[in-house]
């Protein structure tokens, strides 16, 4: 059967050409017999690069006999039968490696006159001499077979060049074929070590960041994939979302984040245009009946692709640049984010859920980096951070001006929640938040119902902005659901005036209005874990951290019996098992806010018990028996910092009270982990226990000391099946953690106390502090983390193993309404940039202070 198909194809070729054999080269001079054949004026040949082995002159003629030629004359076969026979011949030839002969058959079919296809006159690689055929035969099936065989044999680059030639000649390729070709070109590297090599971070050029071209990337496979996509768009071939997605993933893998953002912008514009994302295929082809994605599916796919780009942008923005390569990464990420922000500015974004993009825009660090944008049809360069803030502010202003201004696209609830958080936490503007709520509930058609995330944002922001009655009203709204009662609010909206004084944004007196529809909707919501943590933070911020103690024993009732003596081992093991299952579900943020409240209440012993339980829960979150399908979590550096601050408070408390009360200077209710290890006796001095525990915690974070971890495992009780599971590494320390460690080792004394101390004693204590090994460890950790060592420590710590390297550049990630410059730095501590306090101007400042520090506003500590 194969011989018959080959013979028919050979008869067709022999009838139309006098060539002895059809061997294609990259240059036409390689075929001596081709000089005797006249070229067709309408069809260009389909060529692929490469030199294949010459085929003998009988490579086609030997595949058939005279009887087969007589039994299957080409004159009695229809064009469809001839097309299928040629396709079978192409498959048979490619199996034997005769790709040149197979391509010659494809060219012979392509040279036949076809009335319903108007070929393009754009020349490609070279002209192959062909003769006219007597009847039209479609080359589409044979071309697909040849292209698929090239992919099967691993000739991906040749397949890419052949597909470009096919599309330029007006031959329609199936979308599945193009998609398979793109996947072969953009497939991951065979070795994981190759993919971890140096990524391409180039200098930003204006002609490379705003216009997509194959020359923008350095990888040859990505260049070929971009050319195929350009040909598909130029000649009206069908493009699918999967083609863009696989190309964007390949660009991100190569470090071409700017090209990935341009591809995504092109995908969004095609989806938003009047023409659908898939062009109308050639009439009569099978692609016309392929099912297309619905609008919801396209938006879901667009959102997932955008998340890939924003994930890389976020990872770069969270890293402080240390060298020129990191600076180029930052420039590339900001330019990619600017390409996405232009979609919002030009109102071309059709996605309803743009929350991740909005969050990336207002989380951008405050830098002087400039990006290229298109404004009024011209390329211009602007500062990145002000441009992002301008885009966000324009969206908020459009909400206020509607219906006078142009209508906004129908955003989803997550986008409204992100804008609400930006208005309250970054702009510190209750009036902007009111506009967002009004647009979400009244002006939008159809209106949206709030979620528990909306409630949590309002509740937490009201606590931070010190709005006096908003948290209580919101709590009463949730109490309606608990008690199944009626609301006591009879007004149409809740109006609370907030006088926060002069702020960096010029806001003096603004009003937050919560519509009545929202208050009624809040009554049917179910609180989640974030609501619980916000409530604990609210209790702590309002000056009642002692109330958290009762709440902790209510949420973890096993704690009341777990740490008591006199309980048998079996009962304690069961209680510990139940307590761990609860703790794993609560997660790291719950333990962080609880530790913060207990430390501020002075309950250091209970805080240590909670911290030990949090460490065990963190360890148990990797065990399926406790996780119950959840992800493994880890405590952040904030939890370690809070506990370190508790130890520092105990050490400093000793300095103040040991002259007045010997009992208060002794440790009675804290040092729990050391008591369990029996390393310290009860009644030791507080500053001794505090500093020892502080250094043990410090070594756990900085040097991954397993001493504390092993001691925690020994008292884990009912924690079983953990032999092969290793603990997660501790988080990276920050400036707050180092300051807490310095407070524990070098407690601050009041100026009056320092004045009354004898000079000799003060100098002797500083000299003794110089020889302390713990202080040298802290100084070594500060310099290793890239911070500049404080001046006082530079004089005290004189050690050869401490390298005073150049500190890394610290990016300012504070909200928009906060001053870029932090408070005046302390010579004994590292500078800290506050992100949650209310920026206000002090009523009275020392003479020259404002002039010295440039008139920046001082941040109030929480």
Task: Place 529 in a pLDDT band, splitting at 50, 70 and 90.
Answer: very high
Average pLDDT of the residues in 645-653: 84
Helix axes 257-272, 324-345, angle to 10 degrees: 10
Residue of 269 and 796 predicted with greater confidence: 269
Task: Place 451 in a pLDDT band, splitting at 50, 70 and 90.
Answer: very high
d(CA 216, CA 552): 57
Q: Where are the domains of the chain?
A: 1-173, 197-278+295-411, 413-527, 540-748, 818-862
How far CA 43 is from CA of 163, 463, 469, in Å, comes to 16, 74, 79
Tell me: pLDDT of 858 over 70. Answer: no
pLDDT tens profile 787-838: 888 777 777 766 555 555 566 678 888 888 876 555 545 567 888 877 776 6
Contact between 392 and 368 under an 8 Å Cβ cutoff? The reply is no
Encode 51-87: b = buried (16+ Cβ within 10 Å), e = exposed: ebeebeeebbbebbeeebbeebebeebeeeebbbbbb
Tell me: pLDDT of 87 over 50. Answer: yes
Task: Place 57 in a pLDDT band, splitting at 50, 70 and 90.
Answer: very low
Q: What is the pLDDT of residue 285?
A: 38
Average pLDDT of the residues in 475-486: 54
Task: Place 748 in a pLDDT band, splitting at 50, 70 and 90.
Answer: low
d(CA 377, CA 399): 26
Q: What is the pLDDT of residue 315?
A: 92
Residue of 215 and 327 predicted with greater confidence: 327
Average pLDDT of the residues in 151-174: 90
Lowest mean pLDDT of 50-64, 73-87, 778-792, name the range.
50-64
Most confident of 153-167, 742-756, 787-801, 827-841: 153-167
Task: Place 337 in a pLDDT band, splitting at 50, 70 and 90.
Answer: very high
Q: What is the 3-state secondary structure (H, E, C) of 148-167?
A: HHHHHCCCHHHHHHHHHHHH
Tell me: pLDDT of 482 over 80. Answer: no
pLDDT tens profile 530-553: 999 999 999 999 888 998 998 999
Residue carrying the six token digits 């002090």: 842
Give the closest residue to 508 by CA, choosing from 227, 840, 42.
840
Contact between 238 and 232 under an 8 Å Cβ cutoff? The reply is yes
Give, in degrees to the nearest 5, the angle at Cα 272 between 270 and 277. Answer: 40
Task: Place 186 in a pLDDT band, splitting at 50, 70 and 90.
Answer: confident
Lowest mean pLDDT of 245-259, 634-648, 686-700, 824-838, name the range.
824-838
pLDDT tens profile 686-721: 677 778 888 888 888 877 655 555 555 544 444 544
Provide the mean pLDDT of the chain.
72
Stretch (H or E) spanning 456: helix 452-464
Contact between 250 and 186 under an 8 Å Cβ cutoff? The reply is yes
Global pTM value: 0.78
pLDDT tens profile 379-415: 899 999 999 999 999 999 888 876 655 566 788 999 9
Helix (H/G/I), strand (E/B), else coil: 494: strand
């Amino acid at each position: 059967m194969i011989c018959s198909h080959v013979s028919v194809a050979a008869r067709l070729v022999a009838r139309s050409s006098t060539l002895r054999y059809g061997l294609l080269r990259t240059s036409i001079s390689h075929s001596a017999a081709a000089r005797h054949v006249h070229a067709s004026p309408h069809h260009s040949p389909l060529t692929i690069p490469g030199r294949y082995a010459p085929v003998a002159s009988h490579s086609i003629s030997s595949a058939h006999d005279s009887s087969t030629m007589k039994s299957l004359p080409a004159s009695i076969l229809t064009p469809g039968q001839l097309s299928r026979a040629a396709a079978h011949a192409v498959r048979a030839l490619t199996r034997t490696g005769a790709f040149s002969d197979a391509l010659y058959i494809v060219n012979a079919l392509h040279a036949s006159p076809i009335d319903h296809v108007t070929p393009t006159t754009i020349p490609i690689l070279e002209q192959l001499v062909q003769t006219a055929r007597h009847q039209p035969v479609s080359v589409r099936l044979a071309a697909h077979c040849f292209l698929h065989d090239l992919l099967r044999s691993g000739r991906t680059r040749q397949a890419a060049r052949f597909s470009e030639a096919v599309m330029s000649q007006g031959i329609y390729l199936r979308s599945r074929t193009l998609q398979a070709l793109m996947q072969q070109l953009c497939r991951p590297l065979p070795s994981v070590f190759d993919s971890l090599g140096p990524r391409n971070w180039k200098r930003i050029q204006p002609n490379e960041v705003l216009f997509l071209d194959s020359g923008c990337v350095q990888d040859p496979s990505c260049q070929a994939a971009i050319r195929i996509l350009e040909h598909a768009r130029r000649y009206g071939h069908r493009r699918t979302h999967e083609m863009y997605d696989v190309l964007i993933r390949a660009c991100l893998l190569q470090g071409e984040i700017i090209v990935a953002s341009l591809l995504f912008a092109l995908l969004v514009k095609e989806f938003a245009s009047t023409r659908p994302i898939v062009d109308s295929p050639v009439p009569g082809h099978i692609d016309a009946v392929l099912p297309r994605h619905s609008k919801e599916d396209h938006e879901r796919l667009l959102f997932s692709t955008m998340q890939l780009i924003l994930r890389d942008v976020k990872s770069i923005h969270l890293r402080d640049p240390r060298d020129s390569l990191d600076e180029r990464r930052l420039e590339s990420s900001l330019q990619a984010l600017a390409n996405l922000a232009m979609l919002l500015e030009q109102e071309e974004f059709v996605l309803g859920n743009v929350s991740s993009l909005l969050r990336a825009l207002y989380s951008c660090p405050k830098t002087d980096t400039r990006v290229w944008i298109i404004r009024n049809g011209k390329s211009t360069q602007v500062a990145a951070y002000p441009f992002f803030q301008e885009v966000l502010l324009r969206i908020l202003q459009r909400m206020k001006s509607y219906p006078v201004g142009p209508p906004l696209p129908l955003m989803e609830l997550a986008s409204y929640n992100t804008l609400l958080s930006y208005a309250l936490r970054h702009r510190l503007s209750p009036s902007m938040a009111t506009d967002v709520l009004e647009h979400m509930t009244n002006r939008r058609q159809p209106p949206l119902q709030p979620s528990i995330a909306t409630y949590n944002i309002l509740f937490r922001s009201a606590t931070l902005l010190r709005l006096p009655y908003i948290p209580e009203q919101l709590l009463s709204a949730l109490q309606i659901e608990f008690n199944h009662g009626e609301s006591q609010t009879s007004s149409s909206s809740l109006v609370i005036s907030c006088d926060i004084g002069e702020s960096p944004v010029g806001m003096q007196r603004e009003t937050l209005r919560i519509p009545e529809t929202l208050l009624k909707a809040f009554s049917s919501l179910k609180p989640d874990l974030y609501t619980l943590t916000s409530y604990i933070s609210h209790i702590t911020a309002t000056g009642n951290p002692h109330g958290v103690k009762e709440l902790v024993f209510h949420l973890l009732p096993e704690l009341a019996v777990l740490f008591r003596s006199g309980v048998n081992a079996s009962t304690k093991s069961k209680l510990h098992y139940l307590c761990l299952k609860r703790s794993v579900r609560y997660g790291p943020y719950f333990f962080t806010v609880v530790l913060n409240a207990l430390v501020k209440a002075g309950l250091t012993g209970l805080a240590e018990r909670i911290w030990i339980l949090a460490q065990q829960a963190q360890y148990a979150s990797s065990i399926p028996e406790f996780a119950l399908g959840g992800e493994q979590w880890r405590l952040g550096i904030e939890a370690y910092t809070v506990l370190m601050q508790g130890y520092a408070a105990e050490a400093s408390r000793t300095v103040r009270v040991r002259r007045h009360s010997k009992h208060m200077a002794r440790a009675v209710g804290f040092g729990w982990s050391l008591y369990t290890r029996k390393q310290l006796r009860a009644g030791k001095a507080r500053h001794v226990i505090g500093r020892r525990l502080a250094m043990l915690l410090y070594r756990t974070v900085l040097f991954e000391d397993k001493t504390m971890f092993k001691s925690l495992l020994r008292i884990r009780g009912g924690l079983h099946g953990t032999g092969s599971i290793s603990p997660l590494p501790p988080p990276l320390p920050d400036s707050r953690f180092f300051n807490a460690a310095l407070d524990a080792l070098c407690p601050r004394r009041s100026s009056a106390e320092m004045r009354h101390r004898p000079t000799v004693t003060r100098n002797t204590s500083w000299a003794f502090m110089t020889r302390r090994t713990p202080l040298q460890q802290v100084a070594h950790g500060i310099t290793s983390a890239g911070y500049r060592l404080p001046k006082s420590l530079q004089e005290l710590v004189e050690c050869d193993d401490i390298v005073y390297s150049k500190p890394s550049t610290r990016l300012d990630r504070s909200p928009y309404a906060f001053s870029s410059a932090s408070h005046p730095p302390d010579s004994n501590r590292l500078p800290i940039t506050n992100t949650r306090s209310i920026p206000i101007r002090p009523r009275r400042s020392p003479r020259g202070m404002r002039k010295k520090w440039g008139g920046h506003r001082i941040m109030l500590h929480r």
